[in-house]
Amino acid sequence: MKLVISPPISDERLAKIVAAAQPMHVVNAANDDIAAAEIADADALFGYLTPRLLLAAKRLRWAQSPTASMEKYLYPDLVASPVIVTNMRGIFSDVIADHVFGYIICFAKNFHVYLRQQMRGEWRMLGRDAGELPGYGGPGEVHPSDCAAITLGDCTLGIVGLGGIGIAVAERGLAFGMRVLSVDPRAEDAPVGCAIYRPSHLAEMLGQCDFVVIAAPHTPETYKLFNRECIRQMKKNAYLINVGRGVIVDLADLTAALQAGEIAGAGLDVLETEPLPAGHPMWNMENVILTPHCAAASPRVPERHLETLLANLRRFVKGERLLNVVDKRMWC
């Protein structure tokens, strides 16, 4: 058996792959021409199965994608082919869920406002006059400053996409005492305490949520799912968080909704247009937190990436079922 790697990888990673793939012959293709020649009699590929490589492959059975996302990996000829495709889903779940709760806690405790005040040298508690200190006689009465903060245990969290990331978000929400709802077209199992809706009931779920987290993949069904009409199904005091794919949210519609005060704010790690163009209104929106597609950043992720590949190589050699098999029909 033979494995082709394209694009090429480092010698350190290659040595581990060669060991796991025994007795497969491993080719670390230095360029596309070499990859196209070598894949003719290859059984497996790690890397990008381009149309050129698919056309040249005569007996390829498996392609391991180096990414979790599939929208740029798959195309009609690959979907129609018998090649099994696996991806890297699951290696980012906890890391991205932590990022989500960075947004949620920031909005709940108004850190996004207080950080800006700090930069201006301004000491003011929301709900109080500038310079006014909180009373120290005890919290006997509810003050407007109390109402400016959000208690997570009083909130409903809605998750769009109950895959690995969505489940990790749900687990964290439950740990904070939140009521947790989700929408997913296929999921049957959820953390205890998390309800599952089907996509036809998305509007019903949105109307109940204080925080809505998009953790869905980009598929034909999710493309610009969150347009102006969908956003208007949310509560006016709700926050939208997107760590899924930028194109799931119509950027112009979200901008207009925020300008019109139709939702309370947004936390966005992915955008329809990246980077966000200079001069875009969102740069100056106090109720928007923008992060530069960094939710998956962690020193743990490269380790997991390699281990997923090695585990699948061992399974392939033994003829066992592969991990993270992709339903190719979902994406094209």
pLDDT (0 to 100) of residue 170: 98
Judgement on whether residues 87 and 97 belong to the same structural domain of the protein: no
Judgement on whether residues 111 and 198 belong to the same structural domain of the protein: yes
Judgement on whether residues 26 and 53 belong to the same structural domain of the protein: yes
Judgement on whether residues 221 and 263 belong to the same structural domain of the protein: yes
In a domain, residue 138? The reply is: no
Token pair of 39 as six digits: 């894949």
Find out whether 223 and 198 touch, Cβ atoms under 8 Å.
no
In a domain, residue 142? The reply is: no
How many domains does the structure of the chain reveal?
Answer: 2
Which bin fits 203, alpha (ψ -120 to 50), beta or left (φ > 0)?
A: alpha
Q: At what angle do helices 11-21 and 300-318 cross, to 10 degrees?
A: 30
Judgement on whether residues 209 and 163 belong to the same structural domain of the protein: yes
Instruction: Give the residue numbers spanning the domain of 43.
Output: 2-91+299-330
Task: Report CA-CA distances (Å) from 277 to 129, 146, 261.
Answer: 36, 37, 22
Find out whether 100 and 241 touch, Cβ atoms under 8 Å.
yes
What's the number of CA atoms in the CB half-sphere (13 Å) around residue 27? 22
pLDDT (0 to 100) of residue 132: 81
Token pair of 322 as six digits: 């592969």
In a domain, residue 140? The reply is: no
In a domain, residue 260? The reply is: yes
Judgement on whether residues 278 and 250 belong to the same structural domain of the protein: yes
- CA 204 to CA 209: how far, in whole Å? 10
pLDDT (0 to 100) of residue 332: 60
Judgement on whether residues 79 and 111 belong to the same structural domain of the protein: no
Judgement on whether residues 209 and 220 belong to the same structural domain of the protein: yes
The answer to whether the bond into 275 is cis (omega within 30° of 0) is yes
Judgement on whether residues 79 and 211 belong to the same structural domain of the protein: no
Catalytic sites, residue numbers:
293
In a domain, residue 141? The reply is: no
In a domain, residue 139? The reply is: no
CATH code, domain with 153: 3.40.50.720
Reported pTM: 0.92
In a domain, residue 254? The reply is: yes
In a domain, residue 136? The reply is: no
Judgement on whether residues 99 and 193 belong to the same structural domain of the protein: yes
Judgement on whether residues 123 and 224 belong to the same structural domain of the protein: yes
Q: Which helix (H) or strand (E) is 156 found in, with range?
A: strand 156-160
Judgement on whether residues 55 and 102 belong to the same structural domain of the protein: no
pLDDT (0 to 100) of residue 130: 83
Tens-level pLDDT at each residue, the chain (332 residues): 999 999 999 999 999 999 999 999 999 999 999 999 999 999 999 999 999 999 999 999 999 999 998 989 999 999 999 999 999 999 999 999 999 999 999 999 999 999 999 999 999 999 998 878 776 556 678 888 889 999 999 999 999 999 999 999 999 999 999 999 999 999 989 999 999 999 999 999 999 999 999 999 999 999 999 999 999 999 999 999 999 999 999 999 999 999 999 999 999 999 999 999 999 999 999 999 999 999 999 999 999 999 999 999 999 999 999 999 999 988 76
